[in-house]
């Protein structure tokens, strides 16, 4: 890979990973808006599959050297915090 293409590939890889993360983020937002039970098996399966796929894509980009490991971790951490917020909201709603 030519050194002059690395910044271009890094930019494209980050854009694609962030777009995938945004799709998952929106899925979580829909659940939060509707306070749909996050333990629904279908919801959990879709979310788990999406998160797993994103984590594998990030791992690949890191191994390829086009994304820093810290950047990939930041993307996943952001989604995990959003998911934790959803679970907290659902738990509070159930206690009300």
**Cα→Cα distances 87→39, 42, 51, 91, Å:** 9, 16, 16, 6
Domain boundaries, the chain: 35-96
Mean local confidence (pLDDT), 14-40 = 82
pLDDT value at residue 93: 65
- Structure token digits, residue 7: 């910044």
The answer to whether the beta carbons of residues 17 and 74 sit under 8 Å apart is no
Residue 37 has pLDDT above 60, yes or no: no
Full 3-state SS string of 14-25: HHHHHHHHHHHH
- Structure token digits, residue 66: 């086009």
Residue 36 has pLDDT above 80, yes or no: no
Q: What is the pTM of this model?
A: 0.79
Q: Which of 17-21, 78-82, 85-89 has the highest mean pLDDT?
A: 17-21
5-43 as b/e: b if 16+ CB within 10 A: eeeebbeebbeebeebbeebeebbeebbeeeeebeeeeb
The answer to whether the beta carbons of residues 21 and 75 sit under 8 Å apart is yes
35-96: CATH architecture = Orthogonal Bundle (1.10)
Residue 39 has pLDDT above 70, yes or no: no
């Amino acid at each position: 890979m030519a050194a002059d293409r690395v910044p271009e590939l890094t930019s494209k890889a980050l854009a694609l990973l962030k777009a995938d993360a945004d799709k998952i983020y929106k899925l979580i937002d829909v659940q939060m808006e509707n306070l749909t039970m996050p333990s629904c098996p279908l919801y959990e399966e879709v979310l788990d599959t999406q998160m797993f796929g994103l984590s594998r894509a990030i791992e690949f980009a890191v191994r390829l050297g086009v994304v820093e490991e810290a950047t990939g971790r930041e993307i996943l951490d952001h989604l995990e915090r959003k998911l934790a917020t959803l679970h907290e909201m659902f738990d509070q709603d159930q206690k009300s």
